[in-house]
Amino acid sequence: MTWDFYEDGREISFKKEDKAPKEILDSLDTKQKKRLKKTLQASEPTEFFGQDFTKLGELISIMKDLDLTKSDKKLNKKMKSMDERNIDIVATATKLRKEYELLYRQLYDLVYPKKKK
Whole-structure pTM value: 0.60
Type and span of the H or E element at 2: strand 2-5
Q: For residue 101, what are the contacts with CB-CB under 8 A and spacing of at least 6?
A: 45
Using CA atoms, how far apart are residues 108 and 37, in angstroms rounded to an integer?
A: 10
Phi, psi of 29 (to 5 degrees): -80, 170
Paired residues of 5 in beta bridges: 12
Sequence spans of domains, the chain: 2-111
pLDDT tens across 42-81, in order? 888 777 777 777 788 888 888 777 666 677 788 888 888 9
